[in-house]
Structure 1
C-alpha cells in the first residue's frame, strides 16, 4: 500500500527547499480582517516564499472584493502572473455570478505551465467550472485568511500538505474513518475495498449544488465525490444531497467521501434528527460506499486535494487512503 500522508511528512515539518512564487488574489468576498491578511502573507514569507499581492486584493464593493469586473480582472491577472501558486485570500460568495466571464482556456494554460490554483469554499464554483469547461486540475486546500492568517499557529497537517504541494512531494492523503454502525440490511457502513481509478471532484456542497443544470457543473461518471459545508443544518445538507441524488449524480459515482460539516445548531424540533441521520439515510439510498471523516472543510486541519485528478481510493478497516502519486 502506498504510504499515507503522515508517514512521509511528519506534521509540521518545513522542508524549505521549495521557494515558491505565490500570487494572492480575492475572487469572492471582501477582506475585512486586514490583520489576518497581513499575518498570512508574513507567514508565507517567513517560510521563504515570494508573495505577490494582486492590486485589488483588498478592494471592497458591497460584500464583494470589488465589483464583478474587478474580480474577473483579478482572476485573469492571477492566471497571467506566472506564479507557482495562485492562492485566494478567502471564500464567502461571489464566484458563481461571474462564471460566464472567466477565460477558462487562459486558466487551463496556466495550469498546464505548472500553476497550482488553490482555494476552498466559494472557490468550489471556479474549480467545478474549470473542470467542466477544460478538464484542468486545481487544488482544494487552504485560503490565506482563515488558514495561514489565523490568530494562533496554523495547523501542522495543513502546513505539511501545503509544503508537499510546493515541493511536488504530495502523493495522497490517508485518514481515519468514523466508527459507523452497519446498515439496516447488514452491509458494513464503510466496506473494505479498492477503487483503482476515478476522477476526484467536489468541494463545498451548497456551492456545487448551485451549479446543477448549468454548463459549469462537471459531468463526471465513475468519480469520487468529496463534499463539505459550514453553517448548514443537517436537514439542509440532506435536501442538497437529495438534489444530487434525484438528479442522478450520486449513483454515477464510485464513492462519496464526506468531509467536515461544521457550525450548525440543532433544535428541540429535530428530536434526534442529526448529521448521522442524514448519513444513514444517504447510505440506504445508494449501493456505493459513503465514507466519512475526511479532514477537509471549514476546519483548521485540512488536507489538499487535486480536483479533477485521477486517483485511487482504498479502505482497509478504519484506514482510508486517496492516492494520486501515480498520476505524475
Structure 2
C-alpha cells in the first residue's frame, strides 16, 4: 500500500532529524592541529589581499612575535598583482609550502581582502590532511577555514589576522583556544555602561531562546554565501552557524541569507550565532527592511536558538572561534561553550 503524503513527510522529517542528530557525532573524530606553544614558528601568508606598504606588514610580524612566536613570511607575502599578493598560483603555493614545512607550527593570514575564493581549488588537501596545522584568519579567510575543514576534517580558526588589533581580550581568547587547548566559554567582554544609565556596547540580544549543540561553521556571510553549491561549502547538518559582515547594504545581507535558505543550509541547522554586522545599512532607494526584520524573517521560522551581538566580526575585540569544533550555544546567555579542546 502506498504511503500517504503525510506519512512521507513525516518519514522525511524524521530522516532529516536523524541526519542532524548524527552530524555532531562525526566531529568527535575531527582532525586537530597541535596546540601552538611559545617559541613556535608561525608562517605568514597573504591569500586574500596585497599589503601595499611596508609598515603594515612589519607591524603584523611584530604582533605575532609579541604573542611569543617566531615568524616565517611566505615567499609571496609581499608580492603584488593588482589587489592580490601575487598570482593565484603563488598565493596557493605559499599556503601549501607552509603546510609542507615541518619547521612551521601554524599559519596565520596577514590580512583579509577578496582573493581566497580564487585559490580554494588550488590547495593540496591531501598534504593538509597528512600534516595538519593551525590555520587562522577571518573575513575573506572564511573561504579557506571552511574549505579546509570541509575537505580534510581539520578544525580551523576564525580569529584575528596578523594585522588585526591584538588587544587583551583578543589575545586571551586566542591563547585559551589555540594555545592552552581549553574547552573555553566564548562570551563577549564584560560590558560597562560607564556613566550612562544603560549599557550600549557589547550587548547580546536573544532572537529565539534555547540551547543547542553542534559543530561550529561559518564566518563572513557574503563570503560564505559565495561558496554555496561548491564542495567547499560547510556541511550544515546539525551545525551551529555563526555569521558576521561589514559594509554591505541590508538588501545584500537579505540576498545572501536567501542563498543559504534556498541551498537548504538554513533548514539543517541546530542553532545560529550572529556576530556584528558592522556598517550594514539601508543604502539608497525607496526604503529597506531593518536588520532585525531580515534576521527575524530568515531565522525565526527555523525554530532553533538564535542570538545576535557576539564578539565575532570586523570589530576590535574578537573571539577566536574554532570551525569544526563541537560546541553548545546558549541564546539567552549569549555564549558558546566548546565541548572539548580544539587543538591537540
Q: Give the TM-score of the pair, scaled to structure 1.
A: 0.82
For the residue of structure 2 that corresponds to 1:325, the secondary structure is coil
Q: Distance in 1 between matches of 2:218 and 2:53?
A: 28
Q: Is 2:291 the partner of 1:278? A: no
Deviation string 1:226-245 (CA, Å, 9 cap, x unpaired) is: 11111111111011111111
Q: Distance in 1 between matches of 2:178 and 2:137?
A: 14
- Two-structure CA RMSD over aligned residues (Å): 2.2
Aligned counterpart in structure 2 of residue 160 of structure 1, from 172, 183, 188: 172
Q: What is the match of residue 51 of structure 1? A: 71
Q: Distance in 2 between matches of 1:287 and 1:71?
A: 41
Aligned counterpart in structure 2 of residue 21 of structure 1, from 41, 53, 58: 41
Q: What is the match of residue 111 of structure 2? A: 90
Q: What is the match of residue 249 of structure 2? A: 233
Q: Distance in 1 between matches of 2:251 and 2:82?
A: 30
Q: Is 2:283 the partner of 1:263? A: no
Contact preservation (8 Å) 1:199, 1:223: yes
Aligned counterpart in structure 1 of residue 129 of structure 2, from 108, 115, 119: 108
Q: Distance in 2 between matches of 1:19 and 1:324?
A: 28
Q: Distance in 2 between matches of 1:155 and 1:233?
A: 29
Deviation string 1:94-117 (CA, Å, 9 cap, x unpaired) is: 121222221112122222xxx210
Q: What is the match of residue 248 of structure 1? A: 264
Q: What is the match of residue 179 of structure 1? A: 205
Q: Distance in 2 between matches of 1:267 and 1:236?
A: 10
Contact preservation (8 Å) 1:60, 1:66: yes
Contact preservation (8 Å) 2:60, 2:162: yes
Contact preservation (8 Å) 2:187, 2:311: no
Q: Distance in 2 between matches of 1:49 and 1:326?
A: 21
Contact preservation (8 Å) 2:61, 2:162: yes
Q: Distance in 1 between matches of 2:309 and 2:77?
A: 33
Q: What is the match of residue 336 of structure 2? A: 321
Q: Quote how far apart the aligned CAs of 1:269 are.
A: 3.9
Question: Which 4+ residue blocks in structure 1 deviate beyond 6 angstroms?
Answer: none
Q: What is the match of residue 190 of structure 1? A: 208
Q: Is 2:121 the partner of 1:132? A: no
The structure with the larger Rg is 2
Q: Distance in 1 between matches of 2:131 and 2:53?
A: 29
For the residue of structure 2 that corresponds to 1:214, the secondary structure is coil
Q: Quote how far apart the aligned CAs of 1:271 are.
A: 4.4
Contact preservation (8 Å) 2:151, 2:232: yes
Q: Distance in 1 between matches of 2:339 and 2:300?
A: 29
Q: Quote how far apart the aligned CAs of 1:35 are.
A: 1.4
Q: Quote how far apart the aligned CAs of 1:17 are.
A: 7.2
**Unaligned stretches of 5+ residues in structure 1:** 1-15, 149-153, 181-188
Contact preservation (8 Å) 2:159, 2:318: yes
Tell me the matched-pair count.
293
Q: Is 2:229 the partner of 1:213? A: yes
Contact preservation (8 Å) 2:251, 2:282: no
